[in-house]
Amino acid sequence: MKLIVLFFSSVASYEIISKCIDVNHIAITFDDGIHANTEKILDILDYHDVSATFFVNGENIKDKKSEDVAKRIYNSNNIIATHTYSHPYLTTLNEFNLMREFYDNELVFRNLFGVRPVVSSYRL
């Protein structure tokens, strides 16, 4: 099994949470962004003072507007996480192409935010 998870956040410290530690709490995640509705989602989260994790494909950060939305996620109380560059079926990729998907996505994030991932986990 191959598992690669990279998390990005403007928050200097973080805590890994693997189970619910408080009754009535949930984790909110959004997959395959950035999309046309991402800004509206951020507005709703901000209004309710709620945080979420956004798993973003580098391929979806293609213009100034999507870059600005990605920066808004990064600079807010949310987490932006890599999700592969182009969202292929990972089980169809050889190891080189699998790593390339994550590497290409990391390059987009590093160029946009100027930082490496806060948390990196590779299990090959």
Residues 77-94: what's their mean pLDDT? 85
- Note the pLDDT of residue 96: 92
Per-residue pLDDT, 27: 77
Q: How far is CA 114 from the centre of its chain?
A: 15
How buried is 46 (Cβ within 10 angstroms: 0-12 exposed, 13-18 middle, 19+ buried)? Answer: middle
Query: Which comes out higher in pLDDT, residue 102 or 123?
Result: 102
Question: Domains in the chain, please, with CATH?
Answer: 3-10+27-123 (3.20.20.370)
**pTM of the entire predicted model:** 0.76
Residue range 86-102: mean pLDDT, rounded: 88
